[in-house]
Amino acid sequence: MKKEEQNKYMNMKNHKLNIWWIVIILVIMVIMSFIYIKNVNQLIYRHIYSNVKELSEQTATQLNLAIIDQERFVEIMVDSINRGYFKSAEDIFDRYRGDLGNYHFTRLVILDKNGNGTTSDGYTVKNYANIEEFFKQDEIYVSENRPSTVSNNQVNIYSKTFKLDGKERVLMATINTQDYKSILLRKLFGKGGTYLINNEGTVLIDSFGTIQEKNANIYKYIKDTYGLKDEEATKIDNMRESIKRNEVGTFDVKLGNEIYFIHYEKVNINDWYVITTAANSTIAEELIMLIIILQIVCLLITFTIISICVYINISNQKKNKKLYKIAYIDQITILGNEAYFKENGAIYLQNNNSKNKYVVSLDIDKFKALNNIYGYEFCNNILKIVGEKLENVLPPNSITCRISGDIFTAIFSYEKNIKNLLDKIYNQVSNIKINKTPMHLNLSIGLYKIKNGDTDINKILDKAYMARAKMKGLYDKNYYIFDTILENELVEEQKIEACMEEALKNEEFQIVYQPKVFTNTEKIAGAEALVRWNKDGKVISPGKFIPLFEKNKFIIKLDLYIFEHVCKDLKLWKEKYNYVPNVSINVSKAHFAQKNFIEDYVKITNKYNIDRKDIDLEITESATIDENIDVLQILNKIKEKGFTISIDDFGTGYSSLSMLQSMPIDIIKIDKVFVDKANLKSDKNIIDYIMLIANHLGVKTIVEGVETKEQVEFIKKIKCDIIQGYYYSKPISKEEFEEYFNTNR
């Protein structure tokens, strides 16, 4: 897996998360803003509505009160005339001229039935038009707008009739229509206005002071000015009808580009109405600041929340990246590890429809030896290069991983000749250059072609591994492809697995003892306990089942079983012959790596009352170079409990001298291959070097697999302490061994 790919994979996961968060927040914010703006709009609407209504009501009330005040003034004057306080019109004018200003009147006029008379400001009036209109009224009367007879102004006249010298007269107080404005009609709302109309709709006064001059009709005026049609025009008509019915009301209507709020209110004088209009925008201006502030606050909150989310996401991303790296990435090669392979391999299986899917697995032969010779840093470089080369030679869609140690595995599809690809892998990966120095690696390459029904990635891996394992020792091949031979082996293994538990219960596993003799005296030195499986009358040798049991961990049970039976035998021999031979018992790698295996052994020895120095535990050299366990601690514990320790198959595991020096071991058990390979005439064999090491460490030596007289002579010459091999005895049954030690003690 390339670094960018790895990052892409990470980012994809996190971006999805990020985007979801932000989308959720934005949706919430949009909904909130929507609700908010809707609420504010409603608020503004209600606010303007009530404002306009209130203003209209106030105006009407004020106007009403002012007019009533003016009427009362007129009535007071008439009342005092009727009481006979005044002799002539002049007397009356003299008395009240000074008060006129307080009531916004400009002049007083007294006329007779023909419309002739005088004014308080010195005019003479003749044949006043429509004089009957005023004599018709019994009560105080307020006229609508009419042109002044003495000036160009529009005026309104307050009148009441009375009798002076037995003649009917009318007293008129005149107000310039314009002057109502200063008393009552304040222009409040920018584009809005206030109108005083009669119930025909004729504008008596307007706050602009322009319409009343023309005696305009308010309904027509509004409709014409704004070119209202349809719904909007109907609203105006509705107002007209409503006013005719003497009602009050408020509504909104679109005039031009603006929404206006209109309220109409009765004045209670002459069916007059006050109409107040206000433009939405003008009033909204008051609230716009509030809205802007709130919107900024909303934006800030959104921004803060998004920032927090992004921050949390970024730090999560970092954390995830770290976790992901630990969990899935091999730090040396930057390839995926075993967990990565299994997870993504399974996905690959599901998603890739190619008929030619493969799993290839390769390892570097004797990599541990390379580690000891060249050191970790150098060998890490080898791993890195091998990883890169393998990834490059495979098709681009492959998943290439380092599963563990020096094992690389890849899953891929390939439509061309697979054997050519395998040759290419072998040639490219086995020849590498480190620091410009060419180096040849011996590779074991195993391939499994994935079948249609294969869904279990673990089983697929096992098959590729089996093919790879099969290649060990086949020096004429570059790779091994999983075939029917392996398939049969697999079937065999499955059969064994199916019956192993049962076999243990049925005591099908039996112990044989192979004697060990002292090199110089040829007397018995002890024996190695070896297991045999007695299945349906046939004896199966451990080579057939031990590797499988190591793999499926059943060996742990079997080791304990063997250990207990050996203890039983030792107890028996002690009682029977008062003799206890030293017995070596094999401890499997899997069992050795189990934390508390030694406690179990101690319990068993206690149970059978066995002296632990009579038991030697054989631990293979390869088990002692496991980096995942604290080997020294386990070995020390074994020693502490009193067992002796042999390093089995010594020379095949490439343990380092420094490690050996620190390990509390008693015996080095030299593997059969070194006897077989030895040139018995020479003194430059590996076995000579092993003897040197053993002497240097001060530990005893035993050679196994000694078959011939010549070999025995050779062993004697190199002064190895103990011999085990067919030359003296094959592994024999318990009874045969009893006989052996009784004659060879």
- Binding-site ranges for ligand C2E (CB under 6 A): 514, 530-531, 541-543, 546, 555, 559, 562, 586, 588, 648-649, 704-707, 724-726, 731
Q: Find, among 581, 584, 559, the residue nearest to 570 by Cα.
A: 581
Which of the listed partners (Ca ion, ligand C2E, none) does 621 bind, with a CB threshold of 5 to 8 Å by partner kind? Answer: none
Which one-letter DSSP state was computed for residue 336?
B
**Residue 42, both tokens:** 């409603």
Sign of CA dihedral 320, 321, 325, 328: positive
Nearer to ligand C2E, 135 or 727 (CB): 727
Which of the listed partners (Ca ion, ligand C2E, none) does 707 bind, with a CB threshold of 5 to 8 Å by partner kind? Answer: ligand C2E
Would you say 582 and 610 are in contact if contact means Cβ atoms under 8 Å apart?
no
Nearer to Ca ion, 493 or 648 (CB): 648
**Residue 165, both tokens:** 């010298």
Residue 328 exposure: Cα atoms within 13 Å on the Cβ side: 20
In one letter, which amino acid is 673?
V
DSSP H helices, 553-596, are: 555-577, 589-592
Nearer to ligand C2E, 212 or 514 (CB): 514
Which of the listed partners (ligand C2E, Ca ion, none) does 131 bind, with a CB threshold of 5 to 8 Å by partner kind? Answer: none
Nearer to Ca ion, 239 or 529 (CB): 529
Would you say 563 and 598 are in contact if contact means Cβ atoms under 8 Å apart?
no
- Residues 341 and 345: their CA atoms lie apart, in Å, by 5
SS3 per-residue string spanning 677-712: HCCCCCCCCHHHHHHHHHHHHCCEEEEECCCCHHHH
Shortest distance in whole angstroms from residue 586 CB to Ca ion: 5
Shortest distance in whole angstroms from residue 745 CB to ligand C2E: 21
- Residues 584 and 722: their CA atoms lie apart, in Å, by 13
Which of the listed partners (ligand C2E, Ca ion, none) does 376 bind, with a CB threshold of 5 to 8 Å by partner kind? Answer: none
Which of the listed partners (ligand C2E, Ca ion, none) does 555 bind, with a CB threshold of 5 to 8 Å by partner kind? Answer: ligand C2E
Shortest distance in whole angstroms from residue 688 CB to ligand C2E: 20
Shortest distance in whole angstroms from residue 15 CB to ligand C2E: 52
Q: CA dihedral defined by 646, 692, 625, 559, rounded to 10 degrees?
A: -20
Nearer to ligand C2E, 391 or 621 (CB): 621
What is the residue whose two structure tokens read 């005895």? 729
Burial label, 561 (beta-carbon count in 10 A; 0-12, 13-18, 19+): middle
Nearer to Ca ion, 462 or 648 (CB): 648
Which of the listed partners (ligand C2E, Ca ion, none) does 542 bind, with a CB threshold of 5 to 8 Å by partner kind? Answer: ligand C2E
Shortest distance in whole angstroms from residue 549 CB to ligand C2E: 8
Nearer to Ca ion, 410 or 690 (CB): 690
Give me the residues paired with residue 272 across strands.
none
- How many helices (H) and strands (E) the chain has is answered by 23, 28
DSSP secondary structure, 32-66, as one string: HHHHHHHHHHHHHHHHHHHHHHHHHHHHHHHHHHH
Nearer to ligand C2E, 279 or 511 (CB): 511
Which of the listed partners (ligand C2E, Ca ion, none) does 212 bind, with a CB threshold of 5 to 8 Å by partner kind? Answer: none
Nearer to ligand C2E, 275 or 525 (CB): 525
Which residues, 6+ apart, have CB-to-CB distance to 419 below 8 Å? none
Nearer to ligand C2E, 95 or 589 (CB): 589
Nearer to ligand C2E, 98 or 543 (CB): 543
Nearer to ligand C2E, 92 or 529 (CB): 529
Shortest distance in whole angstroms from residue 519 CB to ligand C2E: 15
Would you say 141 and 160 are in contact if contact means Cβ atoms under 8 Å apart?
yes
Which of the listed partners (Ca ion, ligand C2E, none) does 514 bind, with a CB threshold of 5 to 8 Å by partner kind? Answer: ligand C2E
Pair type for strands 431-434 and 437-440:
antiparallel
Shortest distance in whole angstroms from residue 489 CB to Ca ion: 23
Which of the listed partners (Ca ion, ligand C2E, none) does 115 bind, with a CB threshold of 5 to 8 Å by partner kind? Answer: none
- Residues 107 and 101: their CA atoms lie apart, in Å, by 9
Shortest distance in whole angstroms from residue 373 CB to ligand C2E: 25
Shortest distance in whole angstroms from residue 677 CB to ligand C2E: 14
Pair type for strands 167-176 and 154-164:
antiparallel
In one letter, which amino acid is 288?
I
Nearer to ligand C2E, 329 or 675 (CB): 675
E strand intervals along 281-436: 357-364, 399-404, 407-413, 431-434
Nearer to ligand C2E, 406 or 704 (CB): 704
3-state secondary structure of 411: strand
**Residue 257, both tokens:** 């580009």
Which residues, 6+ apart, have CB-to-CB distance to 522 below 8 Å? 728, 744
Shortest distance in whole angstroms from residue 617 CB to ligand C2E: 10
Backbone φ/ψ region at 360: left (φ over 0), alpha (ψ -120 to 50), beta: beta
Shortest distance in whole angstroms from residue 558 CB to ligand C2E: 6
- Residues 22 and 307: their CA atoms lie apart, in Å, by 10
Residues engaged in binding Ca ion (CB under 5 A):
586, 618, 648-649
Which of the listed partners (Ca ion, ligand C2E, none) does 201 bind, with a CB threshold of 5 to 8 Å by partner kind? Answer: none
Which of the listed partners (Ca ion, ligand C2E, none) does 655 bind, with a CB threshold of 5 to 8 Å by partner kind? Answer: none
In one letter, which amino acid is 22?
I
Which of the listed partners (Ca ion, ligand C2E, none) does 731 bind, with a CB threshold of 5 to 8 Å by partner kind? Answer: ligand C2E
Which of the listed partners (ligand C2E, Ca ion, none) does 462 bind, with a CB threshold of 5 to 8 Å by partner kind? Answer: none
Shortest distance in whole angstroms from residue 363 CB to ligand C2E: 21
- Residues 230 and 233: their CA atoms lie apart, in Å, by 5
Shortest distance in whole angstroms from residue 500 CB to ligand C2E: 14
Which residues, 6+ apart, have CB-to-CB distance to 145 below 8 Å? 154, 155, 156, 177, 202, 204, 205, 212, 215
Shortest distance in whole angstroms from residue 575 CB to ligand C2E: 24
Shortest distance in whole angstroms from residue 563 CB to Ca ion: 14
Could you give the angle at the alpha carbon of 161 between the alpha carbons of 158 and 167, nearest 5°?
145
- Residues 403 and 706: their CA atoms lie apart, in Å, by 38
Shortest distance in whole angstroms from residue 545 CB to ligand C2E: 9
Nearer to ligand C2E, 137 or 510 (CB): 510
Shortest distance in whole angstroms from residue 726 CB to ligand C2E: 3
Nearer to Ca ion, 192 or 725 (CB): 725
In one letter, which amino acid is 87?
K
- Residues 367 and 352: their CA atoms lie apart, in Å, by 34
Rg (CA), the chain: 58
Please provide residue 187's backbone torsions phi and psi, each rounded to the nearest 5 degrees.
-85, 110
Which of the listed partners (Ca ion, ligand C2E, none) does 280 bind, with a CB threshold of 5 to 8 Å by partner kind? Answer: none
Would you say 200 and 142 are in contact if contact means Cβ atoms under 8 Å apart?
no
Which of the listed partners (ligand C2E, Ca ion, none) does 588 bind, with a CB threshold of 5 to 8 Å by partner kind? Answer: ligand C2E
Which of the listed partners (Ca ion, ligand C2E, none) does 206 bind, with a CB threshold of 5 to 8 Å by partner kind? Answer: none
E strand intervals along 223-323: 249-255, 258-266, 273-279
Which of the listed partners (ligand C2E, Ca ion, none) does 530 bind, with a CB threshold of 5 to 8 Å by partner kind? Answer: ligand C2E
Please provide residue 99's backbone torsions phi and psi, each rounded to the nearest 5 degrees.
-85, -15
Nearer to ligand C2E, 374 or 561 (CB): 561
